[in-house]
Amino acid sequence: MINIPSHIGIVIDNYSDEKFSNESIMSFINYVYNICADIGVKEITFYGMDNTNVEDNYWQNLAVIISYELFKLGSKLLVVGNTESAKFPYELLCFAQKRAIGHGLKVNFLVNYSIEWDLDNEISKHYQKNVYDDAVSNIDLISIWGKSKKIKDFLPMQTSSSNLYFQKKLYYKFEPSQIYDAIMLSN
C-alpha cells in the first residue's frame, strides 16, 4: 500500500539563476497542484522567493501572478513571509493576513521569506502553539527540482522529519510522472 504524503513541499532550484517564462512556471504549478489534488495530498508549500531576490521587480511580479493563479485554482492560499518589509508585494497582503477560503488544497507560498524571520515571527509561533488553522503543518516530502541539493531556507520547524526527493531536471522539463515518482520513492 502506498502512503500518500499529506503535505508536499516544492523547491525550484535556479530561482536566482535565471528568469523563466510566466507560461512555463504556471504550467508547472498547475500540474503539481492538480496531480497532488488527484492523488489525495492535502497541502502543498511552494518556495516562491526569499528575502534576497524579492528586491527584483521581476520576482515580485511573478510572485503576484503565481499567487493569483493558485487562488483561481480554488486553493486555500496562505502567502508566508515578512509582510512588514517594504519589499513585500502589497498585492499579496490579502493572502498573507489569513488563509483564503477555497474549495481546493491548502497551499502555502513563501514570499520574502527567511529563516530568521520565520523563527522570530508568526509561522513558528503558530506552529509551536498549534492553535491556528492557518499554521503550516509538518511537511512529509520535499521535492527539489534542479541541479542543487539544497533545501534553502525552507521552513525549518516543519521540515525536520521530511523525506527528500531530488529531481535533476529543471522544472520546465517537467513530466507529470515525476511527481508520482517522488511519492513512490519516498515510501
pLDDT: which is higher, 39 or 138: 39
Instruction: Give the chain's mean pLDDT.
Output: 76
Q: Give residue-wise pLDDT tens across range 108-117.
A: 998 877 767 7
pLDDT category, 149, cuts 50, 70, 90?
A: low
Using alpha carbons, select from 140, 134, 101, 104 the residue that is nearest to residue 9: 140
d(CA 141, CA 44): 10
The answer to whether 35 and 176 are in contact (CB under 8 A) is: yes
What lies within 8 Å, CB to CB, of 38 at 6+ separation is: none
Q: Give residue-wise pLDDT tens across range 7-29.
A: 988 887 654 445 566 777 788 88
Provide the pLDDT for residue 187: 64
Provide the pLDDT for residue 16: 44
Q: Give residue-wise pLDDT tens across range 34-89.
A: 989 998 999 998 887 766 665 667 778 888 898 999 999 999 999 888 888 888 88
3-state class of 30 per DSSP?
Answer: helix
Can you give the pTM of this predicted structure?
0.84
pLDDT: which is higher, 185 or 90: 90
